Homo-oligomer: A and B are copies of this chain.
């Protein structure tokens, strides 16, 4: 480089490749349901240092949004916004076009439009940016008839100690990737681009096991040490489709998302011995097997009794209380741990961002939560402090934008 052009910047030329690649993949996998993730690993210039997992780019386009159909990755950030007062349907359309463009580019490893730090986007690491609407946004887009009956705050549960600062919201943006830098940068771009159209409501961030730490498919553990999400079916399974996808109306291909912020009292939990803790859950802590089984995915035998005639899996064990008889009424869990040091006026706190995906909140999530609120040994050590419900928009085409099915009507 000669001194004369030493102060000129060049965007990495690789980005052109990644866009093209991801676009092609989007078309290809859209037909197959949109949930395949592409490995877009390419090194075409010196200084291009994206690693194998860093270059992994999820397809933006498809019948479903990629954040529901891919593994959540090691890092998750959840951003809620409220529409500014007096927002119109045109404003919402403008915001969704802008955000969809951000998601399309960022997921492909490009900077967003007018990105000031595009280098922080270069390793998508499986990034997904997923959008949901609360009731107000849905009604603004399509009128009262467009909003499903379940799209409202959950009923009050006796165990709740909800705080407004972690609850509700008009718009949800859910950002997952294996790299915390990628997630931080994407959250920043999404927040910047909301300016003037939506105001920040809350921001929650969490983590799961890192890429490479455990064999692929290993169930995550929460900070109680429990496996968390054992009964989630594989994304490609018919059972996943039955539990998750909405199949009629403008939300076809979409779903619903419930986020509960569950504070966990680790200090008191640690005072209970392992037998007591395993009894509370109904699973062993080491392998996660049900107390009537030997490996994690064994079906629990809820009728089994011990030599004295007592149930092996307690009547109030979490496993028993959480489980609907009909698997179609089950939910798909998507949890992230949080562990936040004291800062300013805020005390240290730890817990679980309990995410749950299901086709119908009232038919699936609410009955489970009601049973757990009535009786669940885990309630002793856990407190829900935040709660929010969103409709997750269906996917869109590569040239479309999220929400276009309703906003273009």
Contact = CB atoms under 8 A, between A and B. Distances in A.
A74 B180 contact: yes
Interface in A82-133: 116-120, 123, 125
Contact of A9 (B8, B47, B204, B286): B286
Contact of A210 (B11, B211, B266, B287): B211
Interface string A265-298: 0100110001100110000111111011111100
A52 B215 CA distance: 8
Interface stretch (A28-36, A300-308, A373-381): A300-308
Contacts of A348: 203
Interface of A is mostly: loop
A217 to B, nearest CB: 8
Contact of A223 (B7, B120, B211): B120
Contact of A341 (B179, B203, B207, B306): B203
A4 interface: yes
Contact of A292 (B3, B212, B214, B286): B3
Nearest to A119: B225
Nearest to A342: B203
B295 A46 contact: yes
A315 interface: no
A292 B53 contact: no
Given A125-B213, A344-B345, A119 B286 contact: yes
A113 to B, nearest CB: 14
A293 B350 CA distance: 47
A317 to B, nearest CB: 11
Interface in A147-204: 178-182, 184-185, 187-188, 192, 202-204
B213 A339 contact: no
Nearest to A10: B286
A110 B49 CA distance: 34
A284 B54 contact: no
B304 A3 contact: yes
Interface string A1-23: 10110111111100000000000
B293 A1 contact: yes
A278 B117 CA distance: 12
A312 interface: yes
A287 B48 CA distance: 8
Contacts of A74: 179-180, 210
Given A117-B224, A345-B344, A125 B215 contact: no
A269 B74 CA distance: 28
Contacts of A339: 184, 187-188
Contacts of A218: 49, 51
A381 to B, nearest CB: 12
Nearest to A348: B203
Interface string A335-366: 00101111111111010000000000000000
Shortest 10 CB-CB contacts between residues of A and residues of B: A345-B345, A344-B346, A53-B212, A117-B225, A54-B213, A203-B341, A180-B207, A179-B210, A49-B218, A47-B287
Interface of A: 1, 3-4, 6-12, 46-47, 49-54, 74-75, 116-120, 123, 125, 178-182, 184-185, 187-188, 192, 202-205, 207-216, 218, 221, 223-225, 266, 269-270, 274-275, 278-279, 284-289, 291-296, 304-307, 312, 337, 339-348, 350
Given A7-B279, A202-B341, 10 more contacts: A1-B294, A9-B286, A46-B287, A49-B215, A50-B213, A53-B211, A125-B212, A180-B210, A211-B211, A343-B344
24 contacts: A7-B278, A7-B291, A9-B274, A9-B275, A9-B278, A46-B287, A49-B215, A51-B213, A53-B213, A117-B225, A118-B225, A119-B225, A120-B221, A123-B213, A181-B207, A181-B209, A181-B221, A184-B350, A185-B223, A202-B341, A205-B341, A210-B211, A212-B212, A344-B347
